Amino acid sequence: MKACVAAFALLAASWPNAAHADWRDDIGTFRIGIVAEPGAGNTVPGLALLTDAYTKALGMKVEFVVARDYAALIEAQASGRIEYAVYSATAYATAAQRCGCVEPLVAPVDEDGAIGIRSVLVTRDGKVPDLAAMATHRIAIAPSDSIGGSLLPLAGLKADGVELSEDAPYLVRAASAAAAETMLIDGQADALFGWVEAMADGQPATPDGQSAVPDGQLADPGGTVARLEAAGLSKSELQVVWTSGLLRYGPHAVRSDLDPEAKRRLAVFLTNLKSMTPDVYDLLEAAHSGGFAVASSKDYAMAAAIVQFVSGKNGQQ
């Protein structure tokens, strides 16, 4: 009898480890997908360091898969060929629309705390007091493929219930975002659609804690307003007439059916990576130097709105 009890106790003690081993055994090799840098082919800078870091975090074999573009990356994750992918915001939203089988784990943060961008309608000397007044003024807007200067404002306005046609006579297409700013500076436009850095809710928008819009949503410096000020316009000359929802920086996303323990290990690894192993962080995230923060699907509602807007526009062509 004692032998049976001892055997049962030993078996019970082994269950947690067996459960943890199961998901690793089921996966075999954990595959991480990234998009190739232009001109880099299939090479990944610091591949050995990155692979070693993820291997230690998960306690299993890890392999990086380099995709030629986001379409290929989305297809690979939707079909289950990779468990984890590094996306842009709109690529993640496209993947979520494609299969509903992905979820964000973390997203990068800038050194100043910005977590993404918001579109803004900026006017000078109060010439365009509100959205309704746009129709009687010249509004500069970036090229149609510009995320922050065109797609985000158009999708953001639609999400706010304001339908704005891309061929509206009062919209003046500039050759670039910088050209749109020049139009406002030179008086060729009364307002422009631009972008500003966005902070997490509750953080100050400016160094003195005075928020340009409710809820502390605008960061300073960064974005169109800061660029206009650097070009010589004073802060008092510029007014933000409208601000869009948040377009958060692109996430690291996993398949929703990934074992919860794997998700937990990855989240802990990534959110501590900047402080614990900054050289590995810099290899993984070159554009945003503030570390990773936990992200959720609701953070990408505006990215989804952009994807839907583009899909609707393509469907009309």
Q: Which residues is 240 bridged to in the sheet?
A: 122
Phi, psi of 190 (to 5 degrees): -95, -15
DSSP sequence for 7-69: HHHHHHHHHHHHHHHHHHHHHSSEEEEEEPPTT-TT--TTHHHHHHHHHHHHTS-EEEEEESS
d(CA 235, CA 314): 39
For residue 231, what are the contacts with CB-CB under 8 A and spacing of at least 6?
A: 181, 185
pTM for the model stands at 0.85
Q: Are residues 270 and 153 part of one domain?
A: no
| Whether residue 86 is found in the same domain as residue 123 | no
Whole-angstrom Cα Rg for the chain: 23
Residues 261, 146: Cα–Cα separation, whole Å = 39
If DSSP codes are grouped into helix, strand and coil, which group holds residue 223? strand
Q: Which CATH number covers residue 267?
A: 3.40.190.10
My answer on whether 201 and 277 are in the same domain is no
3-class SS at 201? coil
Residues 120 and 241 in one domain: yes
Selection from 64, 69, 65 nearest residue 53 by Cα: 64
Is the domain of 28 the same as that of 41?
A: yes
Q: One digit per residue, pLDDT tens: the chain, 317 residues?
A: 444 434 433 333 434 444 445 899 999 999 999 998 776 667 788 999 999 999 999 999 999 999 999 999 999 999 999 999 999 999 999 999 999 999 999 999 999 999 999 999 999 999 999 999 999 999 999 999 999 999 999 999 999 999 888 889 999 999 999 999 999 999 999 999 999 999 886 443 333 333 333 333 344 447 999 999 999 999 999 999 999 999 999 999 999 999 999 999 999 999 999 999 999 999 999 999 999 999 999 999 999 999 999 988 665 54
Q: Do 46 and 156 share a structural domain?
A: no
